[in-house]
Every structure is written in C-alpha cells, then in structure tokens.
Amino acid sequence: MGKEKCMVRKYVGSILFLCLLIGITIYVLVENNDMRAVAGAMARAEHIWILAGIVTALFFVAAEGSIICYLLRAIGQKMPLLKCISWSFIGFFFSGITPSATGGQPAQLYYMKKAGLPLADSTPVLMVVAVLYKFVLAVLGLFIAVFWHKQLGAYFQGYYWLFYLGIVLNAILVAILVWVMVTPVCAEKTALFLEGLLVKIRLLHPKEERKEHLREAVARYGAVVRFFQENPRKIVVATIMTLVQRCSLFFLTWLIYRAMGLEGVGLFWIMVLQATVYIAVDMLPFPGSAGISELVYTAVFASVFPGSDLAASMCISRGISFYMVLLVSLGVWCVCHFRSQKT
C-alpha cells in the first residue's frame, strides 16, 4: 500500500510539473505573439492536411506497438496486435508525464505482466525497442551532422549545442546499454561499486534491497544479448520498422506546412529540420519535453514558417503530436486499467 501511495504521489507531481511547463509555454506564446493573427492562421489551415497529421501522429504510437508485437512473436509469444498497440499508448502516456520518459517502460511491463507475459520475455523485448530507438536517433543525428552541419547552423539561432548534446547523450546511452548487455558480470560489479561509493559519500542510504534491484536490472539487460544473438535478422527488420516509425513523426511537420498553404521548402529538408529538433530535446529531463521543444521548434523553423504561421504551426504540430496523443493515450490507459482490474 505504501508503494502505491508513493507511485501516486510521483505521478501526480509529474503531472503538476507538466502543467506548470505548459502554463509557462502558453504565457511565453501569448507574450511574444499576436494571438489574433495566430488564431487566424490556425483557422485557415486546411482540414484535410490536419486530418492526415492526426492519422500520422496516431500511426507513430501504433507503429511502436507493431514492433513490440513483431519481437514478441519472434520469441514465441503470440500476442494480439491491438493489445500490443494499447501497451504502446500506455507507454506514451507515462513517458509523457515523467521526466526523461522514465515512467513509460515500467508501466508497460506492469500491464504486459497483467496480460500473462512473463518478465523474462517482456523485459528484453522492451529493452530491444529502447536500444533501437536510441540507436536510430544517434545514427540519424550523426548522419545529419556530417552532411548538413553548415546549413543547420543558420537555423538553430544559438541552440545548436542542444542538437549535438542530444547526439552525444543518445550515443552514450546506446553504448552503456550495449556494454551492459555484452558484459553483464562486469556491469554488475561496476554498478554495485558505484552504489557503494554513493553510500560512502552519503548521497544514498545503505539498502540491501537496492543492491538486489541493481542485480536484477543487469540480469534483464543480459537477456537482451541472447535475443540479439539468436535473432539477428529479426533485429534488422525491427530496426527498419523503428526508422520508419521515427520518420513518420518528422513527416508530420511537412503535413502542417502544407496545411498552412505554404510551398517552397521540400519534404526532405523539413523532415531533416524536425529530426534535429527531436534529437535536440529527446534526452532533456522535462516531461514530454514540454517548453523546451516549443522553444527549439520556433528557433529552427523561424525561416520556414513566416510571421504568425510559425506560432500557429507550432501549436498545431505539438497539439497533434504530443497533447492530443497524450489525451488519447490517457483514454487507452483508463480502458486497459479498468479491464485489468476486472480480470
């Protein structure tokens, strides 16, 4: 009961912090823009393109569910596609309300276990999804940095360092995860050494339970290694699926561009710009990257969307890709939670 109360407090605190960031974002938006002009630009947006954007945003989340389903079936767990998609929406919701998206996978594991999946199967699958997601972002970031470094400098207006920070953080995380998976014994010793060091300098209280959790976490990552070794072709397919999924989110910005009735900037370049924004804010410790995502977006796309169209496109883009999907995900979670309580 104590753990449940602690979890409730944690998520309530995260939601309140998210609301605070949204409030600050709205305040900055109102202060720096003619809201009548912004509202007018939003009203002029063509509905067919907006509808395509909504479909694309929902596809982005559902595509992760298809990756989960594919990997589960690869290890012999035949779960319905719709159930896997529901887990993806649950992950999106809890990732969206917690800093650095830390709440997504634990929530997914909980509901996967409620559906009868053993942790020995669900954990490595979700770890593969996480590793491929970060790997794709790191590779895309490096590719963009190599070929369009000079061109991008003019767009970022002082925030360019965030893009490179995003590449570095994603690459470091991938390296750590792969290192832990490849050398689980060494990783376990290192984790326990660091935990002991933090206890000695009194940054942590000594807890035997924490050591056990560290051992379990390292063991779970070790299971992913065997999955990679036994299913290399499956991993290649899952990587391609992950690339398509991530690119769908970048494609959404072009749909908003067309919805505003604009032409002149090509699909490919808009997707490159949106990818840089995504990579720049992905690892920052804000729920849903609220606030910072809007700030970087307006800096990067200032020369793409003229005048009030910039703020209008940002409102529509973030409104569809994050806030609308967050509400849909909340609804999916409520339904899944209610059903799981009845079983």
Which residue type does 306 have? Answer: P
184 inside domain: yes
42 inside domain: no
Q: Report residue 317 CA to chain centroid gap.
A: 16
Q: What percent of the chain has pLDDT over 90?
A: 22
130 DSSP 8-state letter: H
What are the tokens at 80?
A: 């319905």
Angle between helices 119-156 and 104-114 (to 10 degrees): 150
As a whole number of angstroms, the distance between CA 77 and CA 113 comes to: 13
pLDDT at 27 exceeding the cut of 50: no
Judged by phi (left if over 0) then psi (alpha if -120 to 50, else beta), residue 80 lies in: beta
Nearest to 46 by CA among 271, 316, 307: 316
67 inside domain: yes
Prediction pTM value: 0.79
Yes or no: say if 248 and 59 are a contact pair by the CB < 8 Å rule: yes
41 inside domain: no
pLDDT at 329 exceeding the cut of 70: yes
Q: What is the pLDDT of residue 158?
A: 75
- What's the Rg (C-alpha) of the chain? 21
Mean pLDDT value of segment 240-244: 95
Query: Domain containing 254: what range?
Result: 2-15+47-342
Nearest to 274 by CA among 249, 255, 311: 249
Mean pLDDT value of segment 214-235: 71
Mean pLDDT value of segment 71-84: 89
116 DSSP 8-state letter: T
Yes or no: say if 202 and 158 are a contact pair by the CB < 8 Å rule: no
What are the tokens at 218?
A: 């390292």
28 inside domain: no
293 inside domain: yes
∠ CA(221), CA(202), CA(173), 5° rounding? 30
Which residue type does 253 have? Answer: T
pLDDT tens string 269-291: 999 999 998 888 876 655 544 55
As a whole number of angstroms, the distance between CA 37 and CA 309 comes to: 8
26 inside domain: no
User: Which of 21-35, 195-209, 214-228, 306-320 is modeled with the greatest confidence?
Assistant: 306-320
> What DSSP string describes 195-253?
HHHHHHTTSS---HHHHHHHHHHHHHHHHHHHHHHH-HHHHHHHHHHHHHHHHHHHHHH
Q: Both ends of the chain: CA-CA distance in Å? A: 20
Q: What is the pLDDT of residue 53?
A: 92
User: Which of 118-122, 188-192, 268-272, 283-287 is modeled with the greatest confidence?
Assistant: 268-272
269 DSSP 8-state letter: H
Is residue 307 very low, low, confident or very high in pLDDT (cuts 50, 70, 90)? confident
Q: What percent of the chain has pLDDT over 70?
A: 70
Instruction: Give me the number of domains the chain comprises.
Output: 1
Rounded-to-5 percentages of helix, strand, coil across the chain: 85, 0, 15
Contacts of 215 (CB under 8 A, 6+ apart): 188, 192
Mean pLDDT value of segment 323-334: 86
205 inside domain: yes
Main-chain phi, psi angles of 115, to 5 degrees: -85, 0
